[in-house]
Structure formats: C-alpha cells, structure tokens
Amino acid sequence: MEIKTAALKKVPQSGKVFYMINTREIFPYENIREGQRELIEIAQDVSFKGGHAVIEGCNGLGKTVGLLTGVLSSVLNSERPVIYLARTHKQIDRVMSELKLISKRITVKGISLRGRVEMCFNQFVRKYCPDPNSAMNVCKELQKLGRCEYYNNLVENTRRFERLESISLSTLLTNEELMNICRKEELCPYEFVKRILPEVNVIAANYMYLFHPNIRELFLTNLKRKLSEIIVILDESHNLPEIALNIASDAISKNSIKSAINEAEKYRLNTIKAFCKRFLKIYEEIEPLIGQEDEILIPKYTVEEGLQKGGEYADLMGFLEDMHEKGEMIQRLMISEGKLPHSYIHRLAEFTIYWMDTVGKRDYCHVIRKYFTGEGGSYTRIEIVALDPRKITRAIYTQCYASISVSGTIQPIQAFIDITGLPSSTVQAVLKSPFNRGNVLALIVEGVSTALAQRVESNYKKIIDKISEVVEATPANIGVFVPSYAVLKDLLEYGLEDRLNKKLFVERFDATSKENDKIIKDFKKHKDLGGGVLLGVMGGRNSEGEDFPGDEMNSSVVVGVPYAKPTASVKASIRYFEEQFPGKGREYGYIIPSMRRAVQAGGRVIRRLSDRGAIVFLDWRFKQENCLRYFPKWLRNHIKIIPDEEGVLKSKISRFFEQGVLNV
C-alpha cells in the first residue's frame, strides 16, 4: 500500500529530514487495545530519538504487533534495521506473522533466522556439529574444499539466487517457508540469508545473534551495519540475564580431558599429552573435595599453580595458544577425512585460556559441580561461572542506537536495569492489563510449603490433596509446576498419580526435544479427551518456552517457591551483587530469579486476551512481602489468599469456571 502524504510527518534529525508515519496507517487490526497504545507511543519515540526503554506488559496485550507498529513508523525512512530478538521459534514466527499483516498496509521487508546448524542441509554438518562454533568452522572448510553442493549451487547459479531473492523480499517468508524453497532449489539457506540481510527492514532472530560475541561479529559483518545504526527489540527480556551468564560461563568434564590425552597420543603430540595429563591430575586431586555437596569453590590459583608446577612452561599462555592452533589443525584434517571434526585438545586449550583469563576476577567464580544421571549415577565438571550479566549485555546496550526490552514478568524494572547495565535515562513503563477481571483467578494457599524442612510425607500428602482439588474442579487441562526434579520425584513416590482423575504427563529432565514435544502434543490433545495433567519443573522448557492457550491449560498450580539451592556459586552471586548494589545482593541474586520462574510457570494459562484461567500458588511463603512484592502488577491485583481448609480450593475454582466471577 502506498502511504498517503497526509499520513507522513516531516521530522528533522541530525541535519537530515525523515518522515514519521502515522501509526494508524501501519497497525493492521481494527482496534488498539488498552495499554497497547502506550506501548506503540513509547516504541515510536525511543526508536526515533534513540535511547532505551524497559516495558512490562502482560500476555494477551498484543506486544509484538504494537512494538512493530511503533518502531516501523519511525524507521522505514531512516535505513535503520530492526533486530527483533526472541527466545523460541514460535516467538520468532509470530514476528513474521504480524509483519505479514503490516505489509498489507505498507511496504516492509523482513526475514527470520534460526541457528546455523538448523539452517543447514549438509548432512555432514547436521551429523557432526551440535553447536554454532563447530558448524561455522566446518562450513568454512567444506566451502574451501568445494564439498558442499548447496553452497556451490548458491554461488554458481545466479539465476536461482535472484529468483529466490525476489520471492523473499516481496513475500515475507517464515524460516520454515524459506527452508522449504531452498530445499527445493538445492540452495544453502544460511548463506542465502547472509546475502540478503542488508536489504531487509526487520530481522527476527534468536538472542545469540547479537549477544554471543563471535556470532555477533559475523552477523554484523553480513548485515553491513554497525551496532550504532541498529534498533534492538528484546522480547521476553526477563530471560536476558540468565542467557548472558550462560554465554559468559564455560565447563569441562574429566572425560573430555582423558579424550584430549588420547588425541595427543594419536597425533604424537608428546608435550601436549604431558600437559593434558597434568590437568587430569589436578582435576582428580580436586574432585574428592566435593564430598556430599553439589558443588564447591575451587581456590583461586589451584589450577594455574598446578599447571605451572615444574617450571617447564615459561610462557604458559603462549603454549596454550599453540595447543589451540594444533587443535584447529586436527579439526581441519578430520573434516578432509570425512570424520567428526571435534578436537578435545582444542577444547581443553580453549577452556584453560578462559580459566587463566578469569582467575582471581570478582565477577567470576570457579567451581567443581556434581551432576546426576537418570540412572542414579553421577559425574562432575569443572566450571567457570560468570556472575555479572553486564559482561555480555553492556556491549549491546552501550552501542546500539535504541533498544526496547519487553516482558510480562520484568518487575522490579530497576533491578533489570541495574544488572544488565542499562543507563539511568532508560524509560520505564508498566502497561495496564487488558484482561477483564473475570478472566483471571489467582490464589495463594496457606498451610503448605516445599521449604526443605517441610519436605516430609505429611506435607507432601497435603500438597497432593490440594492438587487433586484443582484437577477435579478444572474443566480440561492442568499444569503442575514444582521447584525441582527432586520434588517432582517425591510427589510421584507419595502417590500423586493415583489421586488424579485425569491422565498424568510427566516432564523428564533427560528427554530429548523430540521426546518432550511428543509429551506436550499428547497432553494438549487431552483437552478434548476429558483433560490431562502436565507435571513439570519451574524454569524448565515447558514452564517458560511453551504456550498453552484456551483449554490446553485452564489451571496452573505452582508448587513451592523455586528458590535455588544455596550452592557455592549461588552464594558467590549474592555476595557479588551485594558488592555492586549494596543492600540488594539477596534480592538480585536469589529472590528475583526465583519469583520470575514461579510467575512464568503460573502464567502459562493466560496467553491470549480471550483466555480464562486459574493460577494457584501452593506455598504460604508467597503471601510474605519478600515474595508478594515481586508479582507483576497484572497478577498482584488479582491475588486472594485462602485458608488451609479441605474443599475450599476446589469450591473456589469450580465457581470460577462455572460463573466466571472473582467474588468466589
């Protein structure tokens, strides 16, 4: 659609004249919801002037289309690309769906991205490269060797490329649609997207594209833009601190070190073999110290001093860099031989260099951590644990032209601003909920808790009684989310399944993505088969990364406050935040992450404006001020506290679904 002159507003900026489009000319729906208008105005203002905003808005508000409307109204004539970051494929696909509707009103070009491995058809890469770094290295080698037909077709067949380019820039394809066309044309979708990135207005992608330093560098090179020219939207941004910490952390297992020894022996790298053996000896000296603990801190210089013992490494960092290069040579050799291109020597060198770089720094801690397998066994890993998300997030927030961080669970906003390094000038907003008060029932139940001292049979039996009441009173599907797999196991052992009158679906921590998808698909189907119960863990893939609109989940039960176990790294995090933000250490490092996990789990029942759902918090600690104050406003306004009396919970939920009122 051609924009009428009357819909354009001439705005001078930095000596140039830009045109701002009336948002009603862009917004693709008939009505703008309450709260949505404020979102659009903030997005428009920040994306035009530059700067940052952090916004809390509940599910069902229409945040995606509101953000796109506001931002596009100010950037379509400025040549500033919009990078819309989300965590899941479904969220990324939603961006493209809304953009397609907007494209019926204005001319806009957009594309969605997935990871390099997911966008690759080459069977060698798909089989041997589980992570972006290995895929990137292997792709380069395969291209040099001329052994990727999909890349060769893209480079050599200009006509095919131009035809696909025309379709992509005019049709707004989802990633799946693009992949299907590329598969048919036998072209590399990843390389194709790289080449058209500079032509698009909106790019929907995973957080890693901007926040992982190595991936960001390549992405910006392909985009042919600097960060200072980019507008960044961060959807579900409450995830950002955890994502940033994961990017900045690293780990290695004893088996990896043993494999490095074998690799060095195979290639007759005797000096490297001796080094790997020394590292293994240090590991085995540290490992018994963990005892019955889940993890312990490793003294600051234990590994470094152990490696230097004997004095044969006059320049340890120089040796490690040479070891790293040897690992890269081994990877290239294995690729040329058609073998798995993984070098344990390369991996150990990479880890040790990072260890040396972070040892003694206050914003990192080094631990040895114990993990348990599904078969009852255990193993350990030595880990570099990052404590400060700002190591990763500041690179974006200090350099991008504008950013808008949005989530339904981001209060207190000042805490998010502090721990991500946003400036004090950041715009803060809590949008009014569009939900009818009769759509949400939120209850805190007294008399039960999952505090460690109360994890006894009598308390578990009472929790099971309460869950049973919710299940019996709910029309279709129910989600039950617990703090840990240990609590999940206890509930099953104390007879949860026998007490339910609906089929139980249990989340498994060792399930593959495919296996978990099947569990969720079967659970959702039961909304039409008398209802089902999903038992999962807060902070897991089903309590945050999955949507359950309508009858796919009518009630959610949050069993206990998911406080992290006070391990060595958790205590280190609290101490570090206390140093950085006096008086806020426990709040920033312990309470807020826990409450966000609880609220995210509870909020699974409210995904669309038409949804009606009951959210039950089974732990009296939720009514305490140090928990209650961290509920988002849209939820806190609905909360009622009910006594520990048999049948009361069942009665209130039954009346809610029968009558649709809150005075229950």
**What is the C-alpha to C-alpha distance for residues 326 and 413, in angstroms, rounded to an integer?**
47
* pLDDT, mean of residues 218-236: 94
**What is the C-alpha to C-alpha distance for residues 559 and 312, in angstroms, rounded to an integer?**
56
- List 10's β-bridge partners, or say none: 19
- pLDDT: which is higher, 301 or 507: 507
Whether residue 261 is predicted with pLDDT greater than 90 in this model: the reply is yes
Whether residue 421 is predicted with pLDDT greater than 50 in this model: the reply is yes
The pairing of beta strand 110-112 with beta strand 202-206: parallel
Q: What is the DSSP string of 173-186?
A: --HHHHHHHHHHHT
* pLDDT, mean of residues 654-658: 91
* pLDDT, mean of residues 533-550: 86
* pLDDT, mean of residues 558-571: 93
> What tokens were used for 56?
């809390």
Whether residue 552 is predicted with pLDDT greater than 80 in this model: the reply is yes
Cβ 580 vs Cβ 362: under 8 Å: no
Across 538-574, the runs of DSSP E, i.e. the strands, are 555-559
Lowest mean pLDDT among 68-77, 127-136, 466-475, 621-630: 127-136
Confidence of residue 310 (pLDDT cuts 50, 70, 90): low
Kindly report the length of the chain: 664
- Within 10 angstroms of residue 392's Cβ, the number of other Cβ atoms is 25
Confidence of residue 374 (pLDDT cuts 50, 70, 90): low
- pLDDT: which is higher, 73 or 140: 73
Q: Which residues are within 8 A (CB) of 229 and not within 5 positions of it... i.e. 6 or more apart? A: 79, 80, 81, 401
> What tokens were used for 397?
């927030």
| N- to C-terminal Cα separation, the chain | 50
Confidence of residue 3 (pLDDT cuts 50, 70, 90): very low
| Residues 608, 614, 618: CA angle, nearest 5 degrees | 130
**What is the C-alpha to C-alpha distance for residues 225 and 500, in angstroms, rounded to an integer?**
56
Label residue 205 left, alpha or beta by phi (over 0 means left) and psi (-120 to 50 means alpha): beta
User: pLDDT > 90: what percent of the chain?
Assistant: 56
What is the structure's pLDDT at 216? 93
Q: How far is CA 218 from the centre of its chain?
A: 21
**What is the C-alpha to C-alpha distance for residues 370 and 537, in angstroms, rounded to an integer?**
20
Confidence of residue 19 (pLDDT cuts 50, 70, 90): low
Whether the upstream peptide bond of residue 412 has omega within 30° of 0, thus cis, is: yes
Q: Which residues are within 8 A (CB) of 465 and not within 5 positions of it... i.e. 6 or more apart? A: 499, 646
Confidence of residue 444 (pLDDT cuts 50, 70, 90): very high
Domains along the sequence of the chain with CATH? 25-245+392-430 (3.40.50.300), 250-386 (1.10.275.40), 437-659 (3.40.50.300)
What is the structure's pLDDT at 414? 95
What is the structure's pLDDT at 170? 83
What is the structure's pLDDT at 658? 87
**Tens digit of each residue's pLDDT (9 = 90 or more) over 447-485:** 988 887 788 888 999 999 999 999 999 999 999 999 998
Name the average pLDDT for the chain.
Answer: 88
Nearest to 606 by CA among 555, 541, 659, 534: 555
**What is the C-alpha to C-alpha distance for residues 558 and 556, in angstroms, rounded to an integer?**
6
**What is the C-alpha to C-alpha distance for residues 494 and 458, in angstroms, rounded to an integer?**
10
Cβ 232 vs Cβ 402: under 8 Å: yes
**What is the C-alpha to C-alpha distance for residues 541 and 464, in angstroms, rounded to an integer?**
23
Confidence of residue 527 (pLDDT cuts 50, 70, 90): very high
User: pLDDT > 70: what percent of the chain?
Assistant: 95
**What is the C-alpha to C-alpha distance for residues 407 and 417, in angstroms, rounded to an integer?**
13
- In 389-536, which residue ranges form alpha helices assigned H by DSSP? 390-397, 413-420, 457-473, 485-493, 496-499, 513-525
* pLDDT, mean of residues 245-252: 96
* pLDDT, mean of residues 66-87: 88
Whether residue 324 is predicted with pLDDT greater than 80 in this model: the reply is yes
What is the structure's pLDDT at 185? 87
Whether residue 365 is predicted with pLDDT greater than 70 in this model: the reply is yes
> What tokens were used for 452?
């460690």
- Helix and strand numbers (H, E) in the chain are 30, 20
Whether residue 9 is predicted with pLDDT greater than 70 in this model: the reply is no
What is the structure's pLDDT at 663? 41
**What is the C-alpha to C-alpha distance for residues 616 and 557, in angstroms, rounded to an integer?**
5
**Tens digit of each residue's pLDDT (9 = 90 or more) over 153-189:** 888 888 888 888 888 888 888 888 888 988 888 888 8
- pLDDT: which is higher, 563 or 512: 563
**Tens digit of each residue's pLDDT (9 = 90 or more) over 263-285:** 999 999 999 999 999 999 999 99
Whether residue 217 is predicted with pLDDT greater than 80 in this model: the reply is yes
* pLDDT, mean of residues 535-543: 89
C-alpha Rg value of the chain to the nearest Å: 27
- List 202's β-bridge partners, or say none: 82, 110
What is the structure's pLDDT at 171? 83
* pLDDT, mean of residues 607-627: 87
The answer to whether the pTM exceeds 0.85 is: yes
**Tens digit of each residue's pLDDT (9 = 90 or more) over 584-605:** 999 999 999 999 999 989 988 8
- pLDDT: which is higher, 135 or 76: 135
- List 555's β-bridge partners, or say none: 478, 614
| Residues 308, 311, 316: CA angle, nearest 5 degrees | 50
**Tens digit of each residue's pLDDT (9 = 90 or more) over 388-418:** 999 999 999 999 999 999 998 888 999 999 9
* pLDDT, mean of residues 516-537: 94
Whether residue 297 is predicted with pLDDT greater than 60 in this model: the reply is yes
Cβ 182 vs Cβ 192: under 8 Å: yes
In the Cβ-directed half-sphere of 574, how many Cα atoms lie within 13 Å? 13
Confidence of residue 636 (pLDDT cuts 50, 70, 90): confident
What is the structure's pLDDT at 369? 94
Whether residue 134 is predicted with pLDDT greater than 90 in this model: the reply is no
Whether residue 14 is predicted with pLDDT greater than 70 in this model: the reply is no
Measuring CA to CA, how many Å separate 565 from each of 288, 490, 575, 640? 21, 17, 15, 28
Specify the residue for token string 């569990």.
Answer: 519
Q: Which residues are within 8 A (CB) of 112 and not within 5 positions of it... i.e. 6 or more apart? A: 92, 93, 95, 96, 173, 174, 175, 178, 203, 204, 205
**What is the C-alpha to C-alpha distance for residues 178 and 191, in angstroms, rounded to an integer?**
12
* pLDDT, mean of residues 414-437: 90
- H or E element in which residue 402 lies: strand 402-407
Across 468-588, the runs of DSSP E, i.e. the strands, are 478-482, 503-506, 532-537, 555-559
Backbone phi, then psi, for 363, in 5-degree steps? Answer: -90, 15
> What tokens were used for 84?
């819309």
